[in-house]
Amino acid sequence: MQDQELIQSIQSGHTDGFALLVKKYTDKVFRIAMGFMHQQEEAEDITQEVFVKAWQSLDRFNFNAAFSTWLFRIAINESINALNRKKRKKAWSRMSSLFQAETSVADTATPVEEKEEFRLVRQLLETLTSNQQTAFVLFEYEELSQREIAAIMDIREGAVEQLLLRARQQLRKKMEKFRRHP
């Protein structure tokens, strides 16, 4: 049975056919996810999420493109989203470490404490000048180089370096002040 016939059958209520689509495309979707994630467990999670999303959206599939094209686009989007989540988590970890006191141990923080710290860092970021905040976010969150940030902000690399230095100093100073007087 061709994909189009199978999908039409599923859309008309014969949902058992979805297992055939999963069987047919699992390896390909997994390889796409592995191409982005490079870790088997993460790729397996993405593969599962892709088929969940495909199942949830299959009633809206309109045959303008091949099913495989549609499914692979979902796989690419899910992989990119997973990379972005991973990147944000990594950026948060780097930013959080900027503010950790020498005596504190970040690994012992509870989820509630981490959420509170994240809220505080966000508030502190908002106290920076617009240029400092822009440079800091581009450097820490987006992991851009000082050269790339300079091009985006239309300033010299040295100016970016100074903005980052001042931003870090101000953030550390304000964090220390907050920790002394919450």
Per residue in 121-145, pLDDT (tens digit) is 778 888 888 889 888 877 877 677 8
- 105, 176: one domain: yes
pLDDT score of 113 more than 70 = no
Torsion angle, alpha carbons of 75, 80, 82, 83, to 10: 140
Q: What is the pLDDT of residue 98?
A: 63
pLDDT-based confidence at residue 103 (cuts at 50, 70, 90): very low
Residue 38 lies in a domain: yes
How many H-runs (helices) and E-runs (strands) does the chain carry? 8, 0
Report the alpha-carbon distance of residue 169 to residue 108 in Å, rounded. Answer: 25
Give mean pLDDT, residues 13-26.
94
Angle formed by the axes of helices 18-37 and 40-57, to 10°? 140
pLDDT score of 100 more than 70 = no
- 114, 78: one domain: no
From 61, 85, 109, the end of a domain falls on 85
- 78, 111: one domain: no
pLDDT score of 156 more than 50 = yes
Hey, how many other C-beta atoms are within 10 angstroms of the C-beta on 35? 12
CATH code, domain with 136: 1.10.10.10
- 155, 125: one domain: yes
Would you give the DSSP letter of residue 64?
S
pLDDT-based confidence at residue 110 (cuts at 50, 70, 90): low
Report the alpha-carbon distance of residue 17 to residue 7 in Å, rounded. Answer: 8
Q: What is the pLDDT of residue 112?
A: 66
From 40, 60, 85, the end of a domain falls on 85
Report the alpha-carbon distance of residue 27 to residue 12 in Å, rounded. Answer: 26
Residue labelled with tokens 């502190």: 124
pLDDT score of 102 more than 60 = no
Cα 160–145–90 angle (5° rounding)? 110
Is this structure's pTM higher than 0.85? no
Q: What is the pLDDT of residue 101?
A: 46
Give 140's contacts (C-beta < 8 A, 6+ positions apart).
Answer: 91, 94, 95
CATH code, domain with 73: 1.10.1740.10
The boundaries of the domain holding residue 149 are: 100-180
As a residue count, the chain comes to 182
- 172, 109: one domain: yes
- 137, 176: one domain: yes
3-state secondary structure of 138: helix
Residue 91 lies in a domain: no
pLDDT score of 106 more than 70 = no
Please tell me the total count of domains within the chain.
2
Hey, how many other C-beta atoms are within 10 angstroms of the C-beta on 7? 20
More confident residue, 94 or 83: 83
Residue 128 lies in a domain: yes
Give mean pLDDT, residues 101-129.
66
